[in-house]
Amino acid sequence: MARPVHPEFDKTKVVAENRKARFEYFIEEKYEAGICLTGTEVKSLRFGEGSIAESYAEVKNGEVWLVNSNVPEFSHGNRFNHVPKRPRKLLLKERQIAKFTGAVERKGMTLVPLSIYFNSRGRAKVELALAKGKNVADKRATIKDRDWKRDKARIMKDHG
């Protein structure tokens, strides 16, 4: 019997976050994906090192790959250390991969990683989003809304 899917993912320890993605893209849907890592990559992530600021995901030959993510070498990892910026395979169901393929090819959407985290079972996961890019006017509107919310909170604090 399949486990029930929770609306929000179980994030116990967030390792890397792509905060710029929420500014650069309209986030349509979020997915949780497993990630294939070597031993030294897991140890490096457990120490809180890693970056996905400039990374993206792509579909190749029916598989999804996380490209350009940086997991620095483990300090005690001698000759068995990993390559820091290698492409890493993401573990998803075939139906999700088919959905990603259709969205990327037909709708012009992008697969953007939002965060890498460890769940309550100690597994490394990637929060992946189907996103559509913003143009300059949309980014300006986002900045304007963010500034207005900050000013509104300040006014409410002073008068409330």
Domain range summary for the chain, segments of one domain joined by +: 13-134
pLDDT in tens, 7-37: 567 778 889 899 898 888 989 889 999 999 8
CA 86/CA 58 separation, integer angstroms: 14
Contacts (Cβ under 8 Å, ≥6 apart) of 73: 40, 44, 81, 82, 84
pLDDT in tens, 101-153: 888 888 888 899 999 999 888 899 999 999 898 889 989 999 999 999 999 99
CA 90/CA 63 separation, integer angstroms: 8
CA 74/CA 54 separation, integer angstroms: 21
What is the model's pTM?
Answer: 0.81
Strand ranges in 2-160 using DSSP code E only, listed in sequence order: 13-17, 25-35, 56-60, 63-67, 88-91, 110-118, 124-133
State yes or no: pLDDT of 43 exceeds 90: no
Cβ distance 124 to 116 under 8 Å? Answer: yes
State yes or no: pLDDT of 1 exceeds 60: no
Burial grade of 156 (CB within 10 A; 0-12, 13-18, 19 or more): exposed
Identify which has the larger pLDDT, 160 or 52: 52
- Domain 13-134 sits in CATH 3.40.50.720: no
Phi, psi values for residue 94, rounded to 5° = -60, -35
Beta bridge partners of 131: 27, 110
Nearest Cα neighbor of 91 from 128, 54, 120 is: 128
Within 13 Å of residue 80, how many CA atoms lie on the same side as its CB? Answer: 7
